Amino acid sequence: MKSLADQVAIITGAGTGIGRATALEFGRQGVKTVLVGRRSEPIEAVAHAIEVEGGSSIAFAVDIAEPGAFERILAVALRQFGRVDIVMNNAVAISTGLPEDIPYEEWQRVMDINFFSVVRSNKVFLPILIDQGHGHLVNTASVDGLYGFGYDRLPYASSKAALVHLSEGLAHYLWPKGIGVTCLCPGPVESEIATQLKSFGRPHDVHGPGKQLSLISSEDVGHLVVEAVRRNRFMVYTHHEGIHEIVVRRAQDTDAFLASQIANPEIIFRWGGDIPVS
């Protein structure tokens, strides 16, 4: 997009972390935002912060797992701003546990929020973007979806890997129609995602993506997202050099890469009962 001013963006998971930071940065660029989250207080606080800085925003509390949620989001956007230009699918569900300890129902919950919510979002918003001949999608995947270090949170990692593939397929389909697609793959980012972590089964180690990927701020990620929309970039790594090097090594010799990952795991913490133990 050459100019972001007066565009209208819908952001799910907008109350904290990457969603919040992206919403604030969009607001500074003149984008009107519809902030979506399950709880009203966080998204209302973000909307207020945007308006204090001179932007225009509305908060809409809804659970995107509910039937008809995206139709309701669309109705709010059209009533408030009259259009939709950017859709950021950023809501997240995450859990941890050994593969044999995570119940099927938890797999369903995580896949429904992280992957099938994007499918439902596409069903509502893609016809509008295609009809108007312009727009942009942003799907928040993860470094967990690029290589398989996170066996302690397989539902999350699997959903993010599926989202990477979905996003690439959409780019093939939508770019010729004038619609950009961005796949955001964050590494370690300062956010409240750990507070959403549900634990199952026995104490276990929680693995990280690699020591070369240091913790960065959600504000830095928000800036990367907005620039990606402006420049129509597809793949966005929050730690470009580190993740790029890892992905290249994996592609060059997957067996050797996997053996190295298994022999030298990065343990973030050990989860014992309901709390992480350093």
Tokens at 165, concatenated: 């593939």
User: How many residues would you count in the chain?
Assistant: 278
Distance from C-alpha of 2 to C-alpha of 255, rounded to nearest angstrom:
43
* Selected catalytic residue, list 104, 156, 173, 237: 156
Distance from C-alpha of 60 to C-alpha of 91, rounded to nearest angstrom:
14
Q: How far is CA 270 from the centre of its chain?
A: 25
> Is 151 in the active site?
no
Whether 236 contacts 225, CB under 8 Å: yes
Distance from C-alpha of 138 to C-alpha of 140, rounded to nearest angstrom:
6
Give the end-to-end CA distance of the chain in Å, rounded to a whole number. Answer: 45
**Coil, helix or strand at residue 231:** helix
Sign of the alpha-carbon dihedral angle for 200, 205, 209, 211: positive
Residues facing residue 236 across a β-bridge: 184
Q: What angle do CA 43, 224, 35 make, to 5 degrees?
A: 15
Catalytic residue list: 156
